[in-house]
């Protein structure tokens, strides 16, 4: 009897392996990489202005007592187009939005803002993604809620869609 049971062990192992494989295939692990800097002070950075007639954004501006939304975007980023109207709506509701353009050209940024609206106060140009990496951001678009003391309170990975607006507004409120 004991020998019979032992014979079944490989089959059981195979079944267990197949079960785990099927489970992982049907619900793959989350591939979103969040920044570990949530709850920490915004790292220091300074960037050249993305557009000649517009102010840029630096880390120093964030410790002025007012919570802000730091949006990481690019004119070549398709989901950023979907996010644009939501950012405009956030601005209409009083959210101060600063922006960092990743690997972008002034003429492309200007065309993007002309076409999809311009909710930004300052726009910095991050030509080699260095500031993006400094923030622990892994793609475009991403947004950070930074409180008035310059602490990162919340990170939103991916475009802020209409259904995310309540969360972002609540986080902005909490950051006051």
Partner 1 sequence: MSGARSQSGRPSTTVLYAILIALAAPAFADSNLPPSVWADRQLPDARQEAQATALMHEIRCLVCQGQSVADSDAELAGDMRALIRQRIAAGEKPSDVRAWLVERYGDWVSFDPPVKPLTWPLWAAPIIILLAGGLLAARKLRRRK
Among the residue ranges 5-13, 34-42, 112-120, 151-159, the one whose residues contact partner 1 (CB under 8 A)? 34-42
Q: From the CB of 94, what's the least distance to partner 1, in Å? A: 30
Distance of CA 91 to the CA centre of its chain: 17
- Alpha helical stretches, state H, 71-164: 78-92, 106-116, 130-134
Among 135, 145, 172, 175, binds partner 1 (CB under 8 A): 135
Give the integer Cα–Cα distance in Å for 104 and 74: 6
Distances (CA, A) of 8 to 4, 5, 14, 22, 111: 7, 5, 10, 21, 67
Among 58, 63, 76, 89, binds partner 1 (CB under 8 A): 76
Q: Is 33 in the site for partner 1 (CB under 8 A)?
A: yes
Distances (CA, A) of 43 to 10, 35, 38, 99, 109: 53, 12, 11, 15, 25
Q: Is 21 in the site for partner 1 (CB under 8 A)?
A: no
Q: Is 24 in the site for partner 1 (CB under 8 A)?
A: no
Give the integer Cα–Cα distance in Å for 65 and 138: 28
Q: From the CB of 140, what's the least distance to partner 1, in Å? A: 9
Site for partner 1 in 99-118 (CB under 8 A): 102-105, 108
Interface with partner 1 by CB under 8 A: which residues?
31, 33-37, 74, 76-78, 102-105, 108, 127-130, 132-136, 138-139
């Amino acid at each position: 009897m004991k020998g019979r049971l032992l014979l079944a062990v490989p089959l059981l192992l195979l079944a267990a392996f197949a079960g785990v494989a099927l489970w992982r295939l049907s619900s793959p692990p989350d591939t979103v990489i969040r920044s570990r800097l949530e709850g920490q002070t915004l790292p220091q950075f300074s960037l050249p202005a993305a557009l000649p007639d517009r102010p840029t954004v630096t880390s120093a501006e964030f410790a002025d007592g007012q919570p802000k939304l730091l949006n990481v975007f690019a004119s070549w980023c398709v989901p950023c187009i979907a996010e644009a109207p939501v950012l405009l709506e956030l601005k209409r509701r009083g959210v101060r939005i600063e922006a960092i353009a990743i690997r972008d050209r002034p003429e492309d940024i200007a065309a993007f803002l002309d076409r999809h609206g311009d909710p930004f106060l300052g726009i910095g140009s991050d030509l080699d993604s260095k500031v993006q990496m400094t923030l622990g951001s892994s793609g475009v678009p991403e947004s950070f809620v930074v409180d008035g003391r310059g602490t990162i309170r919340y990170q939103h990975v991916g475009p802020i869609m209409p259904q995310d607006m309540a969360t972002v507004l609540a986080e902005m409120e909490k950051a006051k």
